[in-house]
A and B are shown apart, each in its own frame.
Chain A
Amino acid sequence: MNFPDLEKTLKIDKVGVHERVNRFCKRSIKTSAKTHGLHLALSMIDLTTLEGKDTPKKVVQLCYKAQHLHDSMLDLPTVAAVCVYPTLVGVAKKELIGSGINVASVATAFPSGQSTLEVKLNDTKFAVDQGADEVDMVISRGNFLAGEYNFVFDEIAAIKEACGKAHLKVILETGELDTLDNVRKASDIAMYAGADFIKTSTGKISPAATMSVTYVMLVAIKDYCKKTGIKIGMKPAGGILTAKQSLQYLVMLKETLGDSWMNKDLFRFGASRLANDILMQLEKQESGIYQSLDYFSKD
């Protein structure tokens, strides 16, 4: 684990990124390829509820939805994980026993990250003790923007240690990093500090995940893998609402990192509404009739 040489960080060509991303959106994916892609996207979803008003019963409901996406359709995968606040991890863990679905927890004073390292470590340890399989931490954007890169690096490394066996996803909150150059820099810092996944956003800030930002992060992952041989996962979160968008992300993933990243161990969608839109599309693929949300469970 060593600090990346930020002097040598790749400079981002913003126009080039947008051009490239536009190309990903123009692929035509139909019939069986579409069905396959939608199944894959469904299996990569982290079904998420991160609201102040979350209750244990809401989480129970969400966990039920995670296991029974749409029972009238056969051969559906389950989602990859359910993502909740640390205090609700215990509830989710109990509900998901034996289902193969992971429990992810946000931690480290989510979503602002404005707290002391001690509080953040305790937050993380609490989540892991409660049984979280995955921890989604936020970086200290204030310190990052102030140029205190070492601080951010050390913090991620400390949290990684506190995670133990749990997988660590590092949220960069790209909506607050202003430039794509910063996104690249933050991605490098997070990966070198020991992240298992890098994630775009908390979902609390607009803009959340965009394809441009995700593309920059995917390229960072590619470069890191070339240098170290370690495969880091990617999780765009927030703002991915439609099945069509999810397919475009998968196209981008395939054409940037290749087939070995096309599974839930290395790619996730952080979303709450995406699942239903994908289900509607799958149902439409089968019946030929456009669907309505009225016929799908809310959560």
Chain B
Amino acid sequence: MSRIDVLKTYKIFIGGKFPRTESGRFSPLKNKDGDLVANICLSSRKDFRNAVVSCRNTQKQWENTTALNKGQILYRIAEILEGRKSQFIEELMMTGSSKYQAKNEVEQSIDRLIYYAGWSDKFQQIFSSVNPVASNHFNFSVPQAMGVISVIAPNEFPLLGLVSIVAPVIVGGNSCIVLSSEENPMVSISFAEVLNTSDVPHGVVNILTGERKELVSYFASHKDVNSIIYCGDKNEEIKEIEKVSVENLKRVKIYKRKNWNDKTSQSPYFIEQCQEIKTTWHPTES
């Protein structure tokens, strides 16, 4: 008797849980031959709102985790991903990558996580400064986490693009809500499973799947979000984000690059982009 395959339901990732979208909507994801690969949740405004709540609840605790520990946790994500390499390669191939491309993307993603794990307790030194001032003050500036960040992940490189943005965001003590690649969201949910088994506190990373044009405006307008990162080059979306972000003076960062497999797509400056610089004036004796 032949066995019936058990197919995975791809759900979304909020607060360490995998709920279905509150809206009950989904869209079929097809491979290049037109066969159904999976049904993907179309997240709603309400899902995003719930994700922001869990993000906010956990952000301070994550920020206060020691740099060493944050680094260890990022390293752990890489370890778990390494162990599930073949699954990710298979999933990427299902949706159009060649075997070579898929292998490359997964391996680069793992290496990128290790790269940022290493920066965890080092970027602070690079971006801090002691500033010369004319009065009797010891004046210094240090980077601090921005808080809750909403992320529109790149459409290109569904795994590597996601990792390239999320790793520098969380290593800097932020928590985030990510809208995964619209064209190929499947692998992002498998990545959520990796995060969930890597000691990343629940709610630090939340991953939604769905349509950009529907959700972009909510990602940018929510007042409990401190910053938004947008990866893409659609001018009308960028305009909308810049317009509604003004409401609470969100930091807006736009990445138009598509070369997420390039060396230039990893650098400590990606961490700096999601840090606020705090300057302290400390009185000294003359």
Residues of A within 8 A of B221 (CB): 289-290
B49 (CB) vs chain A CBs: closest residue: A290
Separation in Å of the B176 CB from the closest CB of chain A? 16
B222 (CB) vs chain A CBs: closest residue: A290
Give complex CA distance A214, B52 in Å.
Answer: 30
Give complex CA distance A291, B223 in Å.
Answer: 5
A293 in the interface (beta carbon within 8 A): yes
Instruction: List the 9 closest A-B pairs by CB distance, nearest first.
Output: A292-B224, A292-B223, A290-B222, A289-B221, A291-B223, A290-B49, A289-B223, A289-B247, A290-B223
Give complex CA distance A291, B221 in Å.
Answer: 9
Separation in Å of the B271 CB from the closest CB of chain A? 24
Q: Which of B213-258 contact A (CB under 8 A)?
A: 218, 221-224, 247-248
Separation in Å of the A162 CB from the closest CB of chain B? 43
Residues of A within 8 A of B222 (CB): 289-290, 292
Separation in Å of the B130 CB from the closest CB of chain A? 30
* Residue positions of B touching A, CB distance < 8 A: 49, 52, 218, 221-224, 247-248
Give complex CA distance A292, B248 in Å.
Answer: 9
Contacting pair B224 A290 (CB below 8 A) = yes
Residues of A within 8 A of B224 (CB): 290-294
> Which of A289, A290, A294, A295 is B52 in contact with, Cβ under 8 Å?
A290
A288 (CB) vs chain B CBs: closest residue: B221
Residues of B within 8 A of A294 (CB): 223-224, 248
Separation in Å of the B19 CB from the closest CB of chain A? 16
Separation in Å of the A72 CB from the closest CB of chain B? 14
Number of interface residues of A (CB under 8 A): 7
The 12 listed contacts between A and B (C-beta, < 8 Å) are A289-B221, A289-B222, A289-B247, A290-B49, A290-B52, A291-B223, A291-B224, A292-B222, A292-B224, A294-B224, A294-B248, A295-B248
Q: Which of A240-299 contact B (CB under 8 A)?
A: 289-295
Residues of B within 8 A of A290 (CB): 49, 52, 218, 221-224
Give complex CA distance A289, B222 in Å.
Answer: 6
Q: Which of A168-196 contact B (CB under 8 A)?
A: none
Other contacts beyond A290-B224, A295-B248: 7, CB < 8 A:
A290-B52, A290-B218, A290-B222, A290-B223, A291-B224, A292-B224, A294-B248
Separation in Å of the B115 CB from the closest CB of chain A? 33
Residues of B within 8 A of A295 (CB): 223, 248
Separation in Å of the B162 CB from the closest CB of chain A? 24
Give complex CA distance A290, B49 in Å.
Answer: 8
B45 (CB) vs chain A CBs: closest residue: A290
Residues of A within 8 A of B52 (CB): 290
Separation in Å of the B182 CB from the closest CB of chain A? 22
Give complex CA distance A123, B247 in Å.
Answer: 50
A293 (CB) vs chain B CBs: closest residue: B224
Which one of B221, B222, B223, B248 has the greatest number of beta carbons of chain A within 10 Å?
B223
Separation in Å of the B262 CB from the closest CB of chain A? 36
Residues of A within 8 A of B247 (CB): 289
Give complex CA distance A48, B136 in Å.
Answer: 46
Give complex CA distance A292, B221 in Å.
Answer: 11
Give complex CA distance A294, B223 in Å.
Answer: 9
Separation in Å of the B171 CB from the closest CB of chain A? 24
Give complex CA distance A294, B146 in Å.
Answer: 14
Separation in Å of the A206 CB from the closest CB of chain B? 18
Separation in Å of the A102 CB from the closest CB of chain B? 32
Give complex CA distance A290, B248 in Å.
Answer: 11
Residues of A within 8 A of B49 (CB): 290
Separation in Å of the A290 CB from the closest CB of chain B? 4
Give complex CA distance A293, B52 in Å.
Answer: 12
Give complex CA distance A295, B248 in Å.
Answer: 10
Separation in Å of the A246 CB from the closest CB of chain B? 16
Separation in Å of the B243 CB from the closest CB of chain A? 13
A242 (CB) vs chain B CBs: closest residue: B53
Give complex CA distance A289, B223 in Å.
Answer: 7
Give complex CA distance A293, B224 in Å.
Answer: 7
Give complex CA distance A291, B218 in Å.
Answer: 12
Give complex CA distance A247, B218 in Å.
Answer: 25
Give complex CA distance A290, B53 in Å.
Answer: 11
Give complex CA distance A292, B52 in Å.
Answer: 10
Separation in Å of the B32 CB from the closest CB of chain A? 38
B223 (CB) vs chain A CBs: closest residue: A292
A283 (CB) vs chain B CBs: closest residue: B223
Residues of B within 8 A of A289 (CB): 221-223, 247
Separation in Å of the A54 CB from the closest CB of chain B? 25
Give complex CA distance A291, B52 in Å.
Answer: 11
B221 (CB) vs chain A CBs: closest residue: A289
Give complex CA distance A153, B78 in Å.
Answer: 64
Separation in Å of the A26 CB from the closest CB of chain B? 14
Which one of B49, B52, B224, B247 has the greatest number of beta carbons of chain A within 10 Å?
B224
A289 (CB) vs chain B CBs: closest residue: B221
Give complex CA distance A289, B48 in Å.
Answer: 12
Separation in Å of the A263 CB from the closest CB of chain B? 31
Separation in Å of the A144 CB from the closest CB of chain B? 36
Give complex CA distance A291, B222 in Å.
Answer: 6
Residues of B within 8 A of A292 (CB): 222-224, 248
Separation in Å of the A34 CB from the closest CB of chain B? 14
Give complex CA distance A143, B224 in Å.
Answer: 48
B244 (CB) vs chain A CBs: closest residue: A289
